Amino acid sequence: MTHAERLTAKAVVVGAGPSGLLAAIALAEGGIATTLVGNPAPSDHRTTALMSASVTALETLSVWDLCRQHAAPLAALRIADDTARLLRAPEARFEAREIGLPAFAYNIENRHLVAALEAHVRGLPTIRRIEDNVTAIEAADTPVIVLESGIRISAELIVGADGARSVCRAAAGIEMTGWQYPQHALTFNIRHTRPHHDISTEFHTESGPFTLVPLPGLRSSIVCVVDPAEAQRLRHLDDSALESEIEARSHSILGKITLDPGRGFFPLAVETAKRFAAGRIALVGEAAHRLPPIGAQGLNLGLRDAATIAELAVEADRAGGDIGGSEVLSRYDTQRRTDVTARTFAVDLLNRSLLSGFLPVQGARGLGIYLMNRVGGLRRAVMHEGVDPAAAKPRLMRGEALR
């Protein structure tokens, strides 16, 4: 392509992370010629616990077959109170089969998920893939996306999937609201000598959860939420000191531990866009919302965003309407607001109840976990809502193709 090239597109997705890749595939499968702009996502050592509805969407789009061998089922979830507090919660265990599922979620390394989505994109002739960065978006009746290479693309709908520092969000004039937590998350993947039996174990500590999430074979991913000073200390430990530390924190339930290369370090915050769409730009994934990695909600929300905007755009296209017009964008904003707000509230409540040194709050948290453990109906309702939110189920998540 020459630098001065001008292109037109019906839909442009900006950002080739997991949310953007899924949005591009869903739009293209729905019959909308789509351009996907973004350099291949940088190597990511994080993993994602994909809830069953997200897996259904990937199955519907024929992507799951490329993921399956890299994903481990989370058949049970164990929560253990590892605080030294006066009021400690009893240990709780949740089994997916109790709500008729083989697993609550499937944990997969982001690099495998992204590779599977990228491979599927390459096989779709209705997606034009441009490996480049967007530097600006010029507002107009039909906005123009300007790439680093000088290429300019005018588009009827722009899906901003360009992550936490979104250029699309800034171009749409959308602000974020939110807050920071006095916590950092450290992530790494490990090999271990004892099997995890497909059980995800979460130790609740005074500074946040320490979570072991199964990966295929004798491997697991770890998310360790600690205060900033402790995060700095752990971050600078050499491998063998960190391995001993993890073994101690996990009470050796997985036996001897060896670290895989690569460590992640993330300050914890909540950020939510004041609007999810404006000026022909719809925000999806971390461009629209950022959550602490507690309860495995972030990317599952991002995939629901992607499935929703694709569904609304395809519907408008079929009816001969404007796929990036105000009606589609306003429906998108309304449909995503409730889901994102509810998940943010739940994750925040869980995190704050852990951090609180206030005895009644600790008591209430312990009582909540006790009731969930003992009262079958409540436990099943909470499990259902955690993996399969009733209020937000785009068609792809129900197994219905957009074609």
Least spacing, CB of residue 354 vs ligand FAD, in Å = 16
Amino acid 218 reads L
Measure the CA–CA gap between 70 and 308, rounded to whole angstroms: 26
Q: Would you count residue 137 as binding ligand FAD (CB under 6 A)?
A: no
Determine if 300 is a binding residue for ligand FAD (CB under 6 A): yes
Say whether residue 339 binds ligand FAD (CB under 6 A): no
Dihedral, 138, 144, 148, 150 alpha carbons, nearest 10: -110
For 63, phi then psi, to 5°, come to: -105, -25
Q: Which two tokens stand for residue 258?
A: 């060896």
Cα 56 to Cα 58: distance, rounded to the nearest angstrom: 5
Q: How far apart are CA 353 and CA 363, in angstroms?
A: 9
| C-alpha span between 292 and 182 (Å, rounded) | 11
Among 12, 20, 308, 313, binds ligand FAD (CB under 6 A): 20
The neighbouring-strand residues paired with 277 are 282
Helix axes 326-355, 298-318, angle to 10 degrees: 170
* Contact characters 246-265, ligand FAD, x per CB under 6 A: ------------------x-
Here the contacts of 236-243 (C-beta below 8 Å, separation 24 or greater) are: 242/188, 243/190
Binder of ligand FAD out of 15, 73, 209, 394 (CB under 6 A):
15
Residue for token pair 């949310």: 19
- Beta carbons of 166 and 281 less than 8 angstroms apart: no
- Residue 286 sits in the site that holds ligand FAD (CB under 6 A): yes
296 in contact with ligand FAD (CB under 6 A): yes
Subset of residues 138 to 167 that bind ligand FAD, contact rule: CB under 6 A: 161-163, 167
Cα separation, 90 vs 306, whole angstroms? 38
Task: Choose the stretch contacting ligand FAD; rule: CB under 6 A; options: 15-23, 59-67, 79-87, 368-376.
Answer: 15-23
Beta bridge partners, 129, equal: 36
19 binds ligand FAD (CB under 6 A): yes
Applying CB under 6 A, does 214 fall inside the site for ligand FAD? no
Site for ligand FAD in 41-60 (CB under 6 A): 41, 46, 48-49
Between 28 and 49, CB nearer to ligand FAD: 49
- Residue 133, Cβ neighbours under 10 Å: how many? 15
Only one of the segments 71-79, 250-258, 293-301, 354-362 lies at the binding site for ligand FAD (rule: CB under 6 A); that segment is 293-301
Contact 21, 167 (CB under 8 A): no
Q: Is 172 in the site for ligand FAD (CB under 6 A)?
A: no
281 binds ligand FAD (CB under 6 A): no
Q: Which of 11, 67, 74, 223 binds ligand FAD (CB under 6 A)?
A: 223
Question: Cβ 95 to ligand FAD, closest distance in Å?
Answer: 19
The answer to whether residue 185 forms part of the interface with ligand FAD (CB under 6 A) is: yes
SS3 170: helix
CB 220 within 8 A of CB 257: no
Residue closer to ligand FAD by CB (options 18, 366) is 18
Q: Answer whether 356's CB lies under 8 Å from 282's CB.
A: no
**Residue 10 backbone dihedrals phi, psi, to 5 degrees:** -75, -55
99: contact with ligand FAD by CB under 6 A: no
Q: Looking at beta carbons only, is 173 or 255 nearer to ligand FAD? A: 173
Residue among 12, 24, 28, 38 that touches ligand FAD (CB under 6 A): 38
CA distance 59 to 65: 7
- To ligand FAD, the closest distance from the beta carbon of 389 in angstroms equals 13
CB 234, min distance to ligand FAD, A: 14
Interface contacts to ligand FAD, rule CB under 6 A: 14-20, 37-39, 41, 46, 48-49, 133-134, 161-163, 167, 185, 187, 223, 264, 266, 285-286, 293, 296-300, 302
